[in-house]
Amino acid sequence: MPVIRLALAQMNAVVGGFSQNVETVGRFRTQSALAGVDLVVSPELALTGYPPEDLLLKEGFIESTNVALIEMALLQNVPPVLIGTVVNESFGGIELAPSSDGRDVTRALIDAVGPAHIANAFVALSDDGVVATATKRLLPNYDVFDELRYFHAGVGPHTIVNVQGVAVGLLICEDVWTSAGPALELARQGATLLVVANASPYARGRREEREAMLRERALETNCPIAYVNLVGGQDELVFDGQSVVVNQFGDVIARASAFTEELLVCDIEARASDIGAVLVSDYARDESRATAIPINHLAEPLSEVEEIYQALVMGTRDYLRKNGFRTAILGLSGGIDSSLVATIAVDAVGARAVRGFAMPSRYSSDHSLSDALDLARRLDIEITTLGIEDAHQAFTTTLSAVLGGEPEGLTDENLQSRIRGVLLMAVSNATGAIVLTTGNKSEMATGYSTLYGDSAGGFAVIKDVPKTLVYELCRYRNEVAVRDGDPEPIPTTVLVKAPSAELRPDQRDDQSLPPYEELDPLLSLYVEGDATAEEMIANGHDPELVLRITRLVDMSEYKRRQMPPGVRISKKAFGRDRRMPITNAFRPEKM
């Protein structure tokens, strides 16, 4: 059987960054030429970045996409490429070659659905320009995906291109996930190798799911499959890469690293075939195929906690970098949450770009300030102490005239948090630094947070991280430091003390919430598993506790809508993929 050398361009695309994306793909194609590669494969919508959302509704955006595709086609002495993009009525003047059955693929698409639609596409570019176009057949419209809002499903014959005597069938993300679907149809039509462009966001356990699915599809089609995935952060989403190639038996023969750009070069044995539009190139292929790039690199999978930590680091780094923020600031309370966020920020953008502020109040314990100072020393970041007592007293005096007495209870507790938020936002305005908030998923789920206080900021790093996982991530990061011979970044005193907001004397979180060891599993069932209170109670959970927690979650929706974006690491985060109405009369206890 012939051997085809593929290069999977696991790239960090920028939404709307056409020049950057063209440059990145061009760089990977140049590297591929030196490796004697037959075909370069990009991720889904690599040219536009993913997801472009309502930019797809702007005609100028589609025109810019076509211009970028023209630029891509002009690159010389490089291997052919399969590029993820969108297609509409025209390709901006690029000559369209016929498909294997003599039909103009794009024109057939337009005739079938009309010119007002666009499709999520995989375009085959060689020295002849656009040789073939594959369009996504199955459009996901669940979780974080809204593709029915923007795209029509692909129509017409499935697309096969011929590379060095191998019939390569083209698929896009969802198309490969369904049994007896587009993948099987391509195999029946004669494809002997399947390539899949993907923009598959990270979530816990996703790599294992992907590779299990690819094994099933390889056995179903009797074809090897090359799966290339995006990498990088885009708003709340983070893409983990981990592009992978399986043989016809479903065995993994190559895997790219997680959370890093990489050109994965792989030799794949596939059955010979003479069908499909031929992709040709005049680039000076090195017949010896000698290359400094490893062939069939097989990266070791990360542990789950390491995956999550790297996802948080990459999501934070890319949010700041892609939005033009050079520095970040945050409040350092001496608690576990702010300690983790500070550590992630330093790993993401470096110690010189992170600054902490300790803002003690009359209720702050001595160890809280000393723990914050110790953390800053270990991380080698600048820390400034801004006491809030004078501001607290001034607000108290002002409000007394309105309230008929000094503010008490939650009013006074929230006032302290809002004073801290005002100070951080003022520093942000003066310096251009982004404020990182430190709230975790357990707090956001139950409303255990202060609007315009600890929620004030531009990015919520651990928004999707339950409190129990916060501790696990901190212990993991300390273990990494010990392994590398570095000081542990997070002081032991932070890890062992009881969680507290310290907004009143001797306050502890478990005075307002159930212990996190009890709370987090129920939140996971209710929020991520969509279990009803009735189902949870039927499965043996305490009825009073279940109804208390579900009531807190339901009543806190208005708060969550006003929280900044943050990295999604679960299969259902508060944000794009959980869309509950704020005005909502349904309550579990009314079932």
136 noted as active-site residue: yes
494: closest CA among 386, 340, 384?
A: 340
The winner for highest mean pLDDT among 114-128, 222-236, 572-586 is: 222-236
Q: Is the pLDDT of residue 107 over 90?
A: no
Contact between 151 and 118 (Cβ < 8 Å): yes
pLDDT score at 76: 84
Specify the DSSP class assigned to residue 13.
-
pTM of the model: 0.91
Neighbours of 202 (CB within 10 A): 28
Same topology, domains 3-301 and 305-509? Answer is no
173 noted as active-site residue: yes
**Averaged over 558-576, what is the pLDDT?**
91
Segments in 262-360 forming alpha helices (H): 304-322, 336-349
Q: Return all residues near 337 (Cβ < 8 A) that are at least 6 apart.
A: 438, 439, 440, 462, 467, 470
In degrees rounded to 5, what are phi and psi of residue 63?
A: -60, -40
> Which of the following is catalytic: 23, 58, 136, 223?
136
307 noted as active-site residue: no
- The better pLDDT of the pair 332, 511 is held by 332
pLDDT grade for 198, boundaries at 50, 70 and 90: very high
Q: Is the pLDDT of residue 101 over 50?
A: no
Task: For residue 450, give the 3-state DSSP assignment.
Answer: coil
**Averaged over 340-367, what is the pLDDT?**
92
Which residues of 20-118 form beta strands (DSSP E)? 39-41, 81-87
CATH superfamily for domain 3-301: Carbon-nitrogen hydrolase (3.60.110.10)
Q: Is the pLDDT of residue 108 over 50?
A: no
> Which of the following is catalytic: 44, 174, 413, 443?
44
Tokens of 526: 């209710």
Give the lowest-confidence range in 108-117, 208-217, 472-481, 485-494.
Answer: 108-117
**Averaged over 293-321, what is the pLDDT?**
96
> Which of the following is catalytic: 173, 223, 266, 474?
173
What does CATH list as the number for 305-509? 3.40.50.620
pLDDT score at 99: 40
pLDDT score at 112: 38
Neighbours of 254 (CB within 10 A): 23
Domain ranges of the chain: 3-301, 305-509
Give the lowest-confidence range in 55-59, 81-85, 361-365, 543-547.
Answer: 361-365
Per DSSP bridges, beta strands 231-234 and 225-229 are unpaired
User: Based on the number of CB atoms within 10 Å of its own CB, is 388 exposed (0-12), middle (13-18) or buried (19 or more)?
Assistant: buried
pLDDT tens digits, one per residue of 230-272 = 999 999 999 999 999 999 999 999 999 999 999 999 999 999 9
| Rounded-to-integer distance, Cα 10 and Cα 256, Å | 8
Tokens of 452: 């315009």
pLDDT score at 288: 58
| Rounded-to-integer distance, Cα 368 and Cα 134, Å | 58
Residue at token pair 């999977």: 8
| Rounded-to-integer distance, Cα 206 and Cα 211, Å | 9
Task: For residue 541, give the 3-state DSSP assignment.
Answer: coil
